Structure 1
Amino acid sequence: MIVVFTLIMVLKLEFAYAHLKNLGPVYTNWTSEEVMVFSMVAGGSRTKLSKYPFNVKVLNFGSLCGGSIITVKHVLTAAHCFEYNDHIGDMQVISNSEGVFSVGAIFHDIWDFKIHEGYGVGSTFANDVAVLIIHGQFTYGPKVKKAILVHHPHWMTENETTFIVTGWGETENAGENNYQIMREAELRYISRENCVKMIHTELTPDMFCLFGDGIKDTGRGDSGGGVLWNDQIVGITSHARFYNDAAMCAGAILSSYSVLTSAHCLDHNDDINLMAVVVGSQSLTDYRGQWAGIVKSVVHEEYNISVQFSCDVAVLFLSQKLEFSKTVQRVVIAHNNDWMKHQQDDFLVSGWGRTSYNGDVSPVLLMTKLHYIDREKCERLNGIKLSPDIFCLYGSGKSDACKGDSGGGVMWKGMLVGLTSHGNGGCSVIDKPTMFANIWYLRNWIEKQVNEFVRSDCVNTSSEKHMKLKIKKLIRIKGF
């Protein structure tokens, strides 16, 4: 599993109650206390809707979230499910349905919805909760019932293992949605301190963590679904970020079957079963991008040999072909070194990394411009020796790449010239240029890995000669 932790949101009940009163019966344990309000379930087992009849699907302009019935008119779900569309005419709630189009499924139009006014304030996913109000009412039955909300915090105990998550989400992070099969998984509670250490991200007071020991978890499509503890709702699935075993990096598309990234992104894990590539997503909360597993990863054999971070490049070969579109395109690698000039500007770096050294990751894709710093000056300012495959860019202490941007492409006049590698002492530090892997210098090694992959992994017999030519065409890298 890639997503090892799921962050859960805390809901101040004043918010929910303010939008529920006089709109239908509500469970009597709604109080002014803080109640923990935690998209397909990964690694779990099949279950039936009749076992968890409060579950509904929330469709919003083609995207899928989960939800929990809390009154005859109201559904609790995640606020981020509405980030990309807030037009209620494009929304529906589906109840009484084992799958999206199961016989007996009931579709409910939306009358109104309310997102927590503190959503995204102080942290990307803070207060990630919303309430939907449907037209008409739910008709309770064996597969349609309201949930019971917890009214005390006694469930927040380290390694408590009776948390149940349900949904129709993915059964693996790079898998396909299986909307017709409902699944459940049991997770355990992780303390705030341990969670922060493991995911390297600060939590706001409204978040908590559950863990499936890398075997079970929630997945895309489960967002907004309820989390049970002793048959009571303690949370709704909020979000998960996608890591290589707890490391988030960026990358550059080489071809429909290959991606470039930094070698150091694989330092702590080289198991391809714990990796996935996501393309076509503008935001960390946009789960509609293309997902692909990894069939092979190749790290430069001289990585970290001559100096630290030397040859900081790796190639990932994908389990499925990427479909190119306006938001998914391969890069063109620079075919000369004309860009390596002192004070040359207009180098573009982008990513979802942290916006400051100890800050949060960016929820959306960001871009900044940097200028070139010659090797001697960069070595002097940073007090280090650089290998020939490293170059430096600088943002005058005002802009920079940062943690989480590693592996992302550096563009100059529409060509890929580098990958974000590492910094010295922080991000946007005055007189501390950032170091990048020189893709023009490393281009022959990259071409070699692509060609070897074609020969050894794509072509197994002489009868596949035609396929070999076809695949070579697909993964040809312009500029070599």
Structure 2
Amino acid sequence: MFIGYLAKMLLLLPVLLLCAVKGASISVKKYFPQSRIVGGATASVGQFPHQVSLKFLNSHNCGGSIISSTYIVTAAHCIALGKPPVEIPPQFLTVRAGSRHVDRGGQLVRVAEVKMHPLYDGSDNDIAVLRLAQTLRFNSQVKAIALAKRDPPTGVPILTSGWGLTRNGGNTTTYLQYTTLMAVKNEDCNRLTYGGVHESILCLAHNINNGVCKGDSGGPAVYKNQLVGVTNYVVGGCGSYNPDGFASVAYYRDWLRNNTNIALHIGMTFRKISIILCLCFIHIVWGDVFFLQPRILGGNRASEGQFPHQVLVRSTSGTVCGGSIISEYYILTAAHCVTYGSPPIKESTGSIIVKAGSTQLARGGQMLRVSKIIVHPDYDDSENDIALVKLEKPLKFSETIKPISLAEEDPPEGASVTVSGWGNVRDGGLKSRDLLFTTLTAMSHKNCNELLGYAPISLLCLAHRSGNGACEGDSGGPAVYNGKLVGVANVVYEACGSAYPDGYARVSYYRDWIVLNAEL
């Protein structure tokens, strides 16, 4: 069996080498961009921490996006050859993460497994996932990106990046480039490209001499800090007047989740960690800890006035978050609740509404407009995920509307911490109509850092048993210990209710910044 396999590989090697030299495949209408963004700008260090370079025989071939610590999403044509397509053996592939330089720096990791979409036919369903041989070490320059649940609305700006050709027929770039494209309807895309555009394709328009090119294939298209597309093809040459084609992440989201064991979370970064490592760690470190009460995912219903500091923060785009009253004018929440894009851009004050004094998602309480949004100056899509919202009018304090004090220190390891919110009642489920709460357990930063591989010093880790914890819609909400605010809901790891701890911004770490900017 091994000899037969080796013989096949020897026969395939010249084809592989030819592919490495020639680059992209070409069809009648679609030109697959395999090796700088046309008309782009050079990315700064850490600007696109989800971006990777996919290397074939140690040379840059395509882009890709980190969707967990062990999985990369890319285009199927980046890892397949021939018709019908045959997957390139993983031993020929490596991934470089955490560097804007195409050939040095960052983390270079081997690929252990290649999985293209089962219906990929050389053109349609052009999406694939790679399982890495080693776990990526997350830091400020290496981070996962969340998978979008829906396509971006028409006309919004979409960021795309890559190391592809700088112009049609030009040279590849050494440093990561990026540009902004615009989402268009598929029916408009059909008229522009004179052909059928499947619903699985996200069309992104651009100016002449702009867009993706060879070497950008498999790379990311990002809207509001979420991965919305995977670079597939250009029509009529790089930088032409035709829109570029991207695989819609929303369309393939279920397939991606089923083939990588990842899921969305309350914030915009999630990580996949070996389940064996996680379970062993919890058994050793947390074997004597009793985790209290059920999760927010189907957890206890709060009574009126039980959490008078809790508010609902909503945007006109439909985003649901939590927040905490810290004075009659100021609400503390997560930065990703009041920003969009990458790098983050603040929402307009007119698009944010705050509701206080009710446990009901859709009725009751005081509705207030916002006059000012203050995002932490070092917020970078994941770290320093904290913000202040100033209200147009002061809150009227009552039994159901009260401020909460800011903690000066973290809760001790093993302490019970109460969290609350209107988030999803289960992973992928609907928002709760009633305010729910549960109790999590404080972890030391040392233990959390060892478990996750990387945890910023600004992060408070709250552990829970599997099937417990925060979920989408709980972002920005409070974590309370001894009547004081100790955390702001930021992120869950792998999936809502997973065995991994949830991440909260440490109020004690940011206390001076909060006091200064909230005029306390």
Scaled by the length of structure 1, the TM-score of the pair is 0.44
